Amino acid sequence: MLLTLMSTAFAISMFVGVLTIRYAHLRNPDGMHEDMIGVQKFHVAPTPRIGGVPIMAGLCAGMIAWWSSGRPNLSLFVLLLVCAAPVFLAGLAEDITRRVSPAKRLFAAFMSAGLGIWLLGAQLPSLGIPLLDDWLLQWPVLAVMLTVFAVGGVCHSINIIDGYNGLMAGVAILVGLAFAYVALIVGDRFILKASLLLVAALVGFMVWNFPRGLIFAGDAGAYLVGFMLAELAVLLVVRHPGVVSPWFPFLVLIYPVFETVFTIYRRKQRKAAAGLPDSMHFHQIIYKRLMRWMVGDREAKQLLKRNSMTSPYLWCVALMTVLPAVFFWQYESVLQGFCVLFVGGYVWLYRRIVRFRSPRWLVYRKVVSTRTPSLSKR
């Protein structure tokens, strides 16, 4: 049954993806070329950036397959997709028109989070911090505001790491699998199915996104995936109070979340506007300073390879938090300790790379033979 749901979501996501690649240029050919301009653009050919459509199509197809199987917990998944609609549509409008500001997209994420609280009861009951937990218990409005802010923040953070072929989708797949694993242990069939459906839809999208970069997730895809992960994280804690610590999903998601926090800090130090794009995100300095494959070569094939080879670096960064979170999901103090270790390690490595002191074993270059060819004897 579960395999059928995942196969359906995967197949439809992959099929709609290839249709999008084939016909997207008919909708907005100029927009595809405009997407190559900017400090955060690293691809070399016009590419559709509405990958959120095949991801959503995969989720909807999985929902239909779920319905045909007898509909256990189906209504919850339907409501989850309903809650995701505002942020998905706002992102899709930006992908098509380029006229939806970051503030409006963030507001749409807050709307989706509010719907999640209203329709699903997805409201954080605690944070695992004694004094703050007392305040959340005494003032439910504070809990609502915190949940809305957290969900909107995760949506934005997933959008921030959507920079290279396979980066966002690969990280999201790891997070979804971590949620599915814990859901299986605690016996939560709904979160297990929802997480694996999201993973399957992402794999279908990733067939075209990595390594060839034939389609990008865009804002619709990144915000949709961010919302789904954030809601599943909140629901996992809400549905299993005292069993699943809020520090488990926080550790699983700490890479994109801390990337966002650190970006805000960097821009504040430089007195730059928070909404402006820049080229100093962690994944971008990995691309510039560590992925030294064919530096200076402007051949499309080499640029594509350098782009795609950047993502595995960041998948490893995500694994450094996902694996301990999965192994120690029941031990709150251990989860907190790994959060502190990640923050320290992130800041240390970022500064080393920026100051041109990167560990040599992390730098990847193309090996060029310097051996002088021998002269043939006459």
Local mean pLDDT, 10-residue blocks, the chain (378 residues):
92 96 68 46 69 96 86 89 97 93 94 97 90 88 95 96 94 98 96 97 96 93 98 96 95 97 88 71 90 67 83 95 96 96 96 90 66 43
- Confirm whether 220 is domain-assigned: yes
CA distance 230 to 110: 12
Residues in the chain: 378
- For residue 366, the 8-state DSSP code is -
The answer to whether 182 touches 163, Cβ cutoff 8 Å, is no
Taking the C-alpha atoms of residue 177 and residue 322, their distance in angstroms, rounded to an integer, is: 9
In a domain, 370, yes or no: no
Q: Can you give the pLDDT at residue 148?
A: 97
User: What's the pLDDT score for residue 352?
Assistant: 94
Residue 131 gets which letter from DSSP? H
Residue range 132-159, pLDDT digits in tens: 888 988 899 999 999 999 999 999 999 9
Q: What angle do CA 302, 216, 87 make, to 5 degrees?
A: 155
Q: Tell me what pLDDT residue 46 has.
A: 72
Phi–psi pair at 291, nearest 5 degrees: -85, 85
d(CA 168, CA 154): 12
- Within a domain: residue 374? no
Three-state secondary structure call for residue 203: helix
Render pLDDT for 315-333 as a digit per residue (tens, 0 to 9). 999 999 999 999 999 999 9
Measured between alpha carbons, how far is 123 from 183 in angstroms, rounded to an integer?
A: 18
- Quickly list DSSP for 276-318: S--S-SHHHHIIIIIEETTTT---HHHHHHHHHHHHHHHHHHH
pLDDT in the model for residue 24: 74
pLDDT at residue number 289 = 87
CA atoms of 66 and 60, how far apart (whole Å): 10
Residue 209: name the closest of 87, 60, 52, 12 by CA: 52
> What does pTM read for this prediction?
0.90
* 3-class secondary structure, 355: coil
Q: Could you tell me the sign of the dihedral formed by the alpha carbons of 235, 241, 242, 247, in that order?
A: positive
Q: What range defines the domain where residue 189 resides?
A: 2-260+271-364
Contact indicator for 264, 354 with CB cutoff of 8 Å: no
CB-CB contact of 292 with 149 (8 Å): no
User: Which spans in the chain are helix H?
Assistant: 2-27, 29-34, 52-68, 74-97, 102-115, 130-138, 140-160, 167-186, 189-209, 218-238, 247-252, 254-269, 282-285, 300-327, 332-354
Is residue 248, in this structure, part of any structural domain at all?
A: yes
Closest CA to 88 of 119, 61, 60, 62: 60
Burial of 360 (0-12, 13-18, 19+ CB in 10 A): exposed
pLDDT on residue 29: 53
Distance CA 59, CA 106 (A): 22
Residue 28 domain flag: yes
What pLDDT, on a 0 to 100 scale, did the predictor assign at position 274?
63
Tokens 């405009």: give the residue. 34
Q: Domain for residue 265, yes or no?
A: no
Nearest to 108 by CA among 195, 228, 231, 227: 227
Measured CA angle at 77 (ends 117, 187), to 5 deg: 95
Q: Tell me if 144 is assigned to some domain.
A: yes
Overall domain count for the chain: 1
